[in-house]
Amino acid sequence: MTEKKPGWFSRLTQGLSKTSQQLTEQVTSVFVANKTLDAAAVEALEDMLIESDFGPHIAASIAGKMAAKKFASTDDYAVKEALAEAIAEELKGREDRFDPLSGPKPYIVLFVGVNGSGKTTTLGKIAAALTTKGAKVLIVAGDTFRAAAVEQLKVWAERAKADFMGRKTGADAAGLAYDATVRAKEEGYDVVLIDTAGRLQNKQQLMDELLKIVRVIKKVDPDAPHETLLVLDATVGRNALSQEQIFGRQAFVSGLVMTKLDGTARGGILVPIAKASDAPIKLIGVGEDIDDLQPFRASAFARSMVGLEPLGD
């Protein structure tokens, strides 16, 4: 959400430092000056990429591109730049902007994802960024099953100076989403941010509940929700990939948010998820601060992943 400003780049590079340390320390050591890689070196490179959770296909693709290159010296910078380019190529077309203030009003955003993925925090950070810009924001506590989730969201609403709507524990989440959408229309809200449950008795019930929420919102505004963000936690590695498949299969997800990239040395996981998903990546979380929720830009991300400062754009 944060606009580009001094420090934006370094937060990203800092946030991805666990991944870049693990990745580049090893990768640069594979290359020999003025020589392309031999088969054993390519395999070693593939293994390093797999260790960072790029997955076997993407690791092979990146290693293949790197194998064809000769570097005049094993100068770290040139190798890192080439690696960043290869990573960015994998992410081509997989980025998109999240810009609720340029859409219709009220702009309805649904947050989905399993508990603990960073849904509530992401919603709170977005609310804060929007109210700072002068937007009138309504936060809706659609995870009506857990009192703690409602309380956490209320705190975020106060902090962000956004309005808040919740119900008692066990209340119908779809009914709440409906009332919130009606209220937002009547009272001229710019953006409505709706949290949802991350866990019910079983997956089917969870999906049914989400689909019901979408259905009732459409009764008020057929074009809504304007955005459904699936929040995924990078630290759970390959599990995030299966979560994307479970939620993504329902086809109502319009964008992905990958959180906690600062908490893992295996940030490569974003790449197979981006490639597997029908929805683009819109935001990434690289820390706990409000400024650590950033728009996803493939090139900046790829450079930070190898420890280079992103280029200006």
Ligand X SMILES: Nc1nc2c(ncn2[C@@H]2O[C@H](COP(=O)(O)OP(=O)(O)OP(=O)(O)O)[C@@H](O)[C@H]2O)c(=O)[nH]1
In whole angstroms, give the CA distance from residue 290 to residue 12.
Answer: 13
Binding mask 56-95 for ligand X (x = CB under 6 A): ----------------------------------------
Q: Which of 91, 149, 300, 305 binds ligand X (CB under 6 A)?
A: 149
Q: Give yes or no for a contact between 301 and 284, defined as CB atoms under 8 angstroms apart.
A: yes
Nearest distance from C-beta of residue 110 to ligand X, angstroms: 13
Q: Which of 11, 80, 94, 119 binds ligand X (CB under 6 A)?
A: 119
Backbone angles phi, psi at 111, to 5 degrees: -110, 125
The pair of structure tokens assigned to 149 is 């989730």
At 139 the three-state DSSP class reads: strand
Question: DSSP strand E in the chain: where?
Answer: 107-112, 137-142, 163-165, 191-196, 227-233, 255-259, 281-285, 293-295
- 131 annotated among ligand-binding-site residues: no
- 116 annotated among ligand-binding-site residues: yes
- The yes or no reply on residue 152 touching ligand X (CB under 6 A) is yes
List the one residue out of 130, 196, 211 whose CA is nearest residue 163.
130
- The yes or no reply on residue 263 touching ligand X (CB under 6 A) is yes
Which range binds ligand X by CB under 6 A, 16-24, 184-192, 279-287, 305-313? Answer: 279-287
- The helix, strand and coil proportions of the chain, stated in percent and rounded to the nearest 5, come to 50, 15, 35
Is 287 or 295 the residue whose CB approaches ligand X more closely? 287
Q: Which of 121, 131, 181, 294 binds ligand X (CB under 6 A)?
A: 121
Q: Give yes or no for a contact between 66 and 83, defined as CB atoms under 8 angstroms apart.
A: yes
In whole angstroms, give the CA distance from residue 127 to residue 105.
Answer: 15
Backbone angles phi, psi at 193, to 5 degrees: -110, 115
* Number of C-beta neighbours around residue 170 at 10 A: 9
Is 195 or 227 the residue whose CB approaches ligand X more closely? 195
Is 226 or 260 the residue whose CB approaches ligand X more closely? 260
Is 2 or 61 the residue whose CB approaches ligand X more closely? 2
Within 196-215, the residues that bind ligand X by CB under 6 A are 198
- The yes or no reply on residue 144 touching ligand X (CB under 6 A) is no
The pair of structure tokens assigned to 182 is 């009606």
Nearest distance from C-beta of residue 267 to ligand X, angstroms: 11
Q: What angle (nearest 5°) sits at the alpha carbon of residue 271, between those of residues 265 and 274? A: 135
- 218 annotated among ligand-binding-site residues: no
**Number of residue whose CB is nearest ligand X:** 285
Binding mask 218-257 for ligand X (x = CB under 6 A): ----------------------------------------
Residues that bind ligand X (CB under 6 A): 113, 115-121, 149, 152, 198, 259-260, 262-263, 285-288, 292
